[in-house]
């Protein structure tokens, strides 16, 4: 397990071990904070070096669960298995049924809107949300 590190200007540095991060915090060399549920440290002093190793993100897609790995040549920084977004199709169907139910109530009639999606490429909402979710996790 590794702890992400950023410098005083919020630029990412190479991750460190939890023991070193604790030592930095105790010596007031770093400040702890949480970013999107992940514990991180912000260096209050200038880092000793700014060498970077190439890091890759691997995605193992699945219909129900997906695996994500963040890895360099020397270490595996993160290994996560998450539940895929599968609720969007049901929510869109409920929304459509609620809209259809409103049409039969005693309300003044309104003109239908013209079809704005004619001659345009349309991505299904469930597919769009699933890919946006993958992009958010990788980011």
**pLDDT tens track for 88-135:** 999 999 998 988 887 777 767 777 778 877 878 888 888 888 889 888
- What is the mean pLDDT of the segment spanning 51-73? 89
Pairing of strands 65-71, 56-60: antiparallel
Asked whether residue 20 carries a pLDDT value surpassing 90, the answer given is yes
Q: Percent of the chain scored above 70 by pLDDT?
A: 98
Do the Cβ atoms of 55 and 69 come closer than 8 Å? no
Check residue 116 and give its pLDDT. Answer: 78
Check residue 134 and give its pLDDT. Answer: 87
58 bridge partner residues: 69
Check residue 49 and give its pLDDT. Answer: 84
* Residues 59 and 100 reside in one and the same domain: yes
Q: Please, what is the average pLDDT of the chain?
A: 88
30-42 in b/e form (b: 16+ CB < 10 A) is: beeeeeeeeebbb
Number of domains in the chain: 2
Asked whether residue 65 carries a pLDDT value surpassing 80, the answer given is yes
Range of the domain at 37: 3-43
Nearest-5° angle of CA 35, CA 41, CA 43? 130
20: in domain: yes
* Residues 62 and 38 reside in one and the same domain: no
pTM score over 0.85? no
* Residues 57 and 99 reside in one and the same domain: yes
């Amino acid at each position: 397990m590794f702890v992400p590190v950023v410098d005083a200007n919020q630029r990412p540095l190479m991750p460190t071990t939890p023991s070193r991060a604790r030592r930095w915090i105790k010596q007031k060399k770093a400040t702890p904070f949480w970013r999107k549920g992940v514990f991180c440290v912000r260096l209050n002093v200038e880092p000793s070096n700014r060498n970077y190793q190439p890091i890759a993100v691997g995605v193992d897609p699945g219909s129900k669960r997906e695996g994500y790995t963040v890895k360099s040549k020397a270490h595996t920084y993160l290994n996560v298995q998450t539940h895929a977004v599968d609720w969007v199709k049901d929510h869109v169907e409920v929304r459509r049924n609620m809209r259809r139910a409103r049409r039969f109530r005693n309300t003044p009639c309104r003109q239908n809107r013209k079809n704005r999606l004619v001659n345009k490429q349309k991505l299904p909402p469930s597919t769009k949300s699933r890919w946006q979710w993958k992009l958010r996790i990788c980011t």
